[in-house]
Amino acid sequence: MIESVVDSTLKPLSESILRTILYYDIFNYPLKADEVYRFLPTNHASKHSVEQELKDLSSKGYLYQFGDLFCAQNKIELIDRRRKGNAEAEKLLDVARVKGKFISGFPFVRGVLASGSLSKGYMDENSDLDFFIITKPGRLWVARMILVLYKRMFLFNSHKYFCVNYFVDSDHLEIEEKNMFTATELATVIPLCEADLYTRLFKSNDWLTFFFPNCEQRSLDAVVPASNSVVKKILEKVIDIAGGSWWENYFMKLSLKRWESIYKKQYANNDFKVAFKTKKYVSKNHPRNYQKKVIELYREKMEGFSKKFNIVWKA
């Protein structure tokens, strides 16, 4: 659940702003006023009031303002870092659109979205192009295996511009883990192919408004239809005739067995199930279990801030 500040010197809006800034401070990422508003855990404020409150918090020493950017660290180098990362992300968005259209041409792929760093508008030399992929129901694991084999055979398993580690099918668009991390990921994904599926994804996760009531869908102007070529149709038909359901179950079991052999000993059982979610309608392969790591860092960030300013965070 979202936490709130108990301190008579802080307004409720200030509490919400601090929570938002501190989350992005995990990534050393300053925010603009309109971004703070978008990810504010309350809808009882205007954009203008958010901007004024940000300036007030900065004048009181809770935050630091550098031009139109606000952060919890007095480090001007973070501003230059963000601007360089934004410029790189803008360039790579065009690459992601081309890759997304290409991925949509694979059998049983129905929709493609950009996720990860690119969806936050930041890329650097350590960032990958991450893709969130929506498949036909009952063929998620076949689609995943074909994409993985392509990556291994033709891209030498490179993740840089072809990281496909999250799949759901079009009948199961609701994200099961509901927390600050998944809410942020879902709120920021960029639709690349098949606008209708992105709209359905957004509507299927109405719990998102609990975390970000001001968040709205991305623009659909640049979204293109998923590829529906003759070759794709033929391959899907051939796979279905050649035992598609059998292959579906086989690839799911094969993938889980491989992940268990490599990673199972490194994780508690519940953590493994989240990092390597393996169900008929969803596949997640996150060896670093980034979700848990970020949530823990967020908790530490809030605790450190409360000690610095003598603030008590109430569950």
Q: Per residue in 83-127, pLDDT tens?
A: 999 999 999 999 999 999 999 999 999 999 999 999 999 999 999
Statement: residue 237 has pLDDT above 60: yes
Task: Tell me the pLDDT tens digit for each residue of 130-162.
Answer: 999 999 999 999 999 999 999 999 987 777 789
CATH number at residue 258: 3.30.460.10
- Residue 242 pLDDT > 80: yes
Q: What's 305's domain CATH number?
A: 1.10.10.10
Q: Do 303 and 215 share a structural domain?
A: no
Q: Are residues 99 and 234 in the same domain?
A: yes
- Asked whether residue 1 carries a pLDDT value surpassing 90, the answer given is no
Tokens, residue 2: 């979202």
Compare 158 and 63 and report the one with higher pLDDT. 63
pLDDT bucket at 9, cuts 50 / 70 / 90: low
How does residue 2 score in pLDDT terms, banded at 50, 70 and 90?
Answer: very low
Shared domain for 161 and 180, answered yes or no, is yes
pLDDT at residue 4 greater than cutoff 70:
no
Domain range for 190 is 91-284
| Residue 82 maps to a domain | no
169 domain residue, yes or no = yes
**Do both 114 and 10 map to the same domain?**
no
Average pLDDT for the chain: 94
Q: 121 and 253, same structural domain? A: yes
Question: Do the domain assignments include residue 143?
Answer: yes
d(CA 294, CA 204): 24
3-class secondary structure, 18 = helix
- CA-based radius of gyration for the chain: 21
pLDDT band at 314 (very low <50, low <70, confident <90, very high): low
Closest C-alpha to 3, from 59, 156, 18: 18
Amino acid at 188: T
Give the Å distances, CA to CA, from 197 to 150, 167, 180, 222. 24, 13, 23, 14
Note whether residue 201 is domain-resident: yes
| Residue 200 CA: distances (Å) to CA of 110, 122, 185, 288 | 13, 26, 16, 29
Confirm whether 80 is domain-assigned: no
Instruction: Please give the Cα distance from 134 to 21 (Å, whole number).
Output: 31
Q: What backbone phi and psi angles, to 5 degrees, belong to 124? A: -140, -170
Are residues 130 and 199 both part of a single domain? yes
201-227 average pLDDT score:
97
> In sequence order, what DSSP letters do the residues of 42-62 get, joined into one string?
-SSS-HHHHHHHHHHHHHTTS
Please report whether residue 84 resides in a domain: no
Regarding whether 62 and 161 lie in a shared domain, the answer is no
What is the per-residue pLDDT for 10?
74
Is 289 inside any structural domain? no
pLDDT top residue among 311 and 28:
28
Residue position matching structure tokens 């949509």: 104
pLDDT over 90 at 315, yes or no: no
Give tens-digit pLDDT for 244-272.
999 999 999 999 999 999 999 999 999 99
Of 152 and 2, more confident: 152
The yes-or-no verdict on residue 311 having pLDDT over 90 is no
Q: Token pair for residue 154?
A: 């033709």
Quick check: helix, strand or coil at residue 313? strand
Task: Please indicate, yes or no, whether residues 137 and 263 belong to a single structural domain of this protein.
Answer: yes
Q: What is the pLDDT of residue 12?
A: 86
Does 81 map to a domain? no
**Count of structural domains, the chain:** 2
Q: Mark whether 58 and 195 lie in a shared domain.
A: no
33 and 131 both lie in a single domain? no
What's residue 43's pLDDT? 87
Range list of H helices, the chain: 12-25, 33-38, 47-59, 77-103, 116-119, 140-154, 180-188, 195-204, 208-211, 230-241, 244-263, 269-275, 290-309
Q: How far is CA 46 from CA 67, 143, 187, 249, 304, in A?
A: 20, 44, 19, 50, 29
Q: pLDDT for 149-201, tens place per residue? A: 999 999 877 777 899 999 999 999 999 999 999 999 999 999 999 999 999 99
pTM of the complete model: 0.94
Task: Check whether residue 174 and residue 301 sit in a common domain.
Answer: no
Same domain, 107 and 233: yes
Strand, coil or helix: what is 295? helix
